[in-house]
Structure 1
Amino acid sequence: MNETINSMIKRRTIRKYKQEQITDGELNAVLEAGLYAPSGANQQSAVFIVVQNKDVIKKLTKMNAEFFGKDIDTYYGAPTIVLVLADKNKRTPVEDGSLALGNMYNAAYSLGLGACWVHREKQMFESEEGLALLKEWGVEGDFIGVGALTLGYPDCELPAPPARNDNRVFFVK
């Protein structure tokens, strides 16, 4: 089987990470995969905010958990978080950000990294606190939060792929 397709099939979500930080080379390879994701009309609306500062990760975790409604570590102790936002004024911002997240998710697996797609960034970056963080970080524009990608070295065995549900492919020839 083709190596790319094999990686997509074997990739699993990881929710337990070693505290060791990933290398800059690994991070840059994952980000490049996201930058080259397809986008509507090639508008490239997705932007990435890489967070490796432990205090900022704690703050983001608290914000995300509040919108989740549970006091848990929604970023699973990952040493790196990539927040994905997209320009609301472009044609397909959510789709563009989602494709970028998917590319990065698969790239992470291909490099031996663990990754998990996390939600609630939309709510986080519509809030006053989230908007203040964007301003503090120098991120200017009219953005919608699409999601986040946790990145790190897995501190667990890779789970086996669960069976796929039936009746999900239909052919019209």
Structure 2
Amino acid sequence: MNETLKVLETRRSCRNFDKERMVSEEDIQAVVKAGTYAATGMGRQSPIIIAVTNKELRDRLSAENAKIMGTATDPFYGAPVILIVLADKDIPTYQYDGSLVMGNLMNAAESLGLGSIWIHRAKEEFESDFGKKILADLGIEGNYEGIGHCAIGYAAAPANAPAPRKENYVYYVK
């Protein structure tokens, strides 16, 4: 099987990251670059990615996300790197574009031996004063909506085997 198809078939969400091991800058850059090559409607590139390796901001994002979710646990499962995807709401395909970026990020992470998981609630975070301040502090202007957080890091345990695919997943018309 070719390596791309193997990655697509074996990638699973990681819910237990090695909290002591940081991802190399080279691997972070490779994952982020892959995200920037996701297909976007009419090539408009509506998404942006905020790559967070700063522990203080990572922990603040975790606390805010947990508050939105209504829990006190770390919704990022200890991942040391959070890649936040936002997309320009003025582009009609922004949600699809941002979702494809998230997929590219997770698949690129898998290809490098990293675990990943899509964590929601970015929309609520970046609609709040908390998220708006982060954007303002970074000098990011525009009509952006949070699409998701791609938490990446080294898995603390092997991934589970994929579940069998459901019946009637695909219908062929020949």
TM-score bin, normalised by smaller chain:
over 0.9
Does the residue aligned with 2:64 lie in a helix, a strand or coil?
Answer: helix
**Does 1:141 find its partner at 2:142?**
yes
Instruction: Give the distance between the partners of 1:100 and 1:10, measured in 2 at CA.
Output: 19
Alignment-derived partner of residue 53 in structure 1: 54
Cα deviation code 1:64-87 (max 9, x no counterpart): 111112221101111100000011
* Residue 67 of structure 1: aligned partner: 68
Which residue pairs with 1:26 in the alignment? 27
Q: Over aligned residue pairs, what C-alpha RMSD do you find?
A: 1.0
SS, match of residue 125 in structure 1: helix
How many Å separate the matches in 2 of 1:34 and 1:110? 13
Task: Indicate the residue corresponding to 2:10 in structure 1.
Answer: 10
Displacement after TM superposition at 1:54 (Å): 1.1
The whole-number CA distance in structure 2 between the counterparts of 1:39 and 1:155 is: 33
Residue-by-residue CA offset, 1:42-98 (whole Å, 9 max, x unaligned): 000110001111111111111111111222110111110000001111121111110
Residue of structure 1 in register with 2:96 after alignment? 95
Distance (Å, rounded) in 2 between the aligned partners of 1:42 and 1:160: 35
Q: Does 1:157 align with 2:170?
A: no
Provide the secondary structure at the position in 2 that maps to 1:84.
strand
Return the letter of the residue paired with 2:5.
I
Give, in angstroms, the shift of residue 138 of structure 1: 1.6
The normalised TM-score by structure 2 is: 0.96
Q: In terms of mean alpha carbon deviation, does 15-24 or 118-127 score higher?
A: 15-24
Gaps of 5+ in 2: none
Q: Which moved more, 1:146-155 or 1:67-76?
A: 67-76
- Which residue does 1:111 correspond to in 2? 112
What is the one-letter code of the residue matched to 1:6?
Answer: K
Q: Which residue of 2 aligns with 1:166?
A: 167
Gaps of 5+ in 1: none
Q: Once the two structures are superposed, what CA deviation does each residue of 1:110-130 show, in whole Å capped at 9, x if it has no partner?
A: 100010111000011011111
Q: CA deviation at 1:172?
A: 2.6
Q: Give the Cα–Cα distance (whole angstroms) in 2 for the partners of residues 133 and 32 of structure 1.
A: 22
Q: AA paired with 2:73?
A: I
- Work out the CA distance in 1 between the residues paired with 2:85 and 2:59: 18
Q: How far does residue 29 in structure 1 lie from its aligned partner after superposition?
A: 0.8
Question: Secondary structure at the residue paired with 1:59?
Answer: helix
Percent of paired sites with the same residue: 42
Shift of 1:158: 1.9
**Partner amino acid, structure 2, of 1:10:** T
| Letter matched to residue 102 of structure 2 | L
